[in-house]
Amino acid sequence: MNRPDSPSIALPLSGEERYRMIVSYDGAPFHGFAKNPGVDTVEGLLTQTINRVLDEIPLLTCAGRTDAGVHAKAQVVSFDSVPFDTKKMQKSLNKLCSPYVVVTSIEKTSDNFSARFSAKSRTYRYQVLNQDNPDPFLARYSWHVREPISIEKMNAAGQKLIGEHDFSSFCRKRIIDIDGKQVVASLMREIQSLRWEEADDNLLELWITANAFCHQMVRSITGTLVDIGTGKICQSSILDILEAHDRNSAGQVAPPYGLTLWKVTY
């Protein structure tokens, strides 16, 4: 499925190259990826440090604009610049951005590559710690839920969400401008896979892959499935929630710190 709001991809200016950068970060200290005046963001830090090294302000494009507190194992970022030594740049950025942001690779890429619009799918992981006591070593990276959770119910309900649907019940609406008119952006998305797994130490992991995600979609799906797993919502209600196209029909929104952008496929 093509994203309805996907524009044509602008090419680099004369004398510039396009670069593809893989970035890993702990989202706890940041107010999300996207630049936001007056607060610390991942994009703001990367832009500032690239400017410091190259003496130019890059325009960064990312694969997924993660929210405040959300982490990334392999965020993909593309930008244009005059040519530079990628190894030296990586070393400089890691010196300036550590310890919470690490650039794991930088390489030249094709002129028509976009970290956002060239992506075929994104995979997220969400961790839920399901036990009586919290764990201070997992507090930044998991949601602590004391009530017993049925992973079987969550997996059965989650399978109903696979495929192409209007996910209005699980997303915040976004207004976009088309030919001077303000319209609601399409919330049609295609979930390609969704599964819950049991990890060590009472840790449950949701792995979800889609062509794209809308705002708070993964966290809303996670919260709703956990409500089903704890018995707060009937398992059979999942299709009614999906078909309602109403955010108020779904369950709670899971907190951001359990969520990690894990992989982007091109």
| Helix/strand/coil for 228 | helix
Query: How would you classify residue 176: left for phi > 0, otherwise alpha for psi between -120 and 50, otherwise beta?
Result: beta
| Contact assessment for residue 78 and residue 115, using Cβ atoms and an 8 Å cutoff | yes
Q: How many secondary structure helices (H) and strands (E) does the chain include?
A: 5, 12
Burial code (b: 16+ CB inside 10 Å, e: under 16) for 11-44 equals eeeeeeebbbbbbbbbbebbbbbebeeeeebbbb
- Cite the active site residues: 67
Q: In the numeric block, which tokens belong to residue 246?
A: 């109403």
- Give Cα separations from 244 to 85, 111, 149, 157, 170 (angstroms): 52, 42, 25, 16, 10
User: Quick one: 73 exposed, middle or buried, by C-beta within 10 A (0-12, 13-18, 19+)?
Assistant: middle
Task: Tell me which residue has tokens 């409500």.
Answer: 227
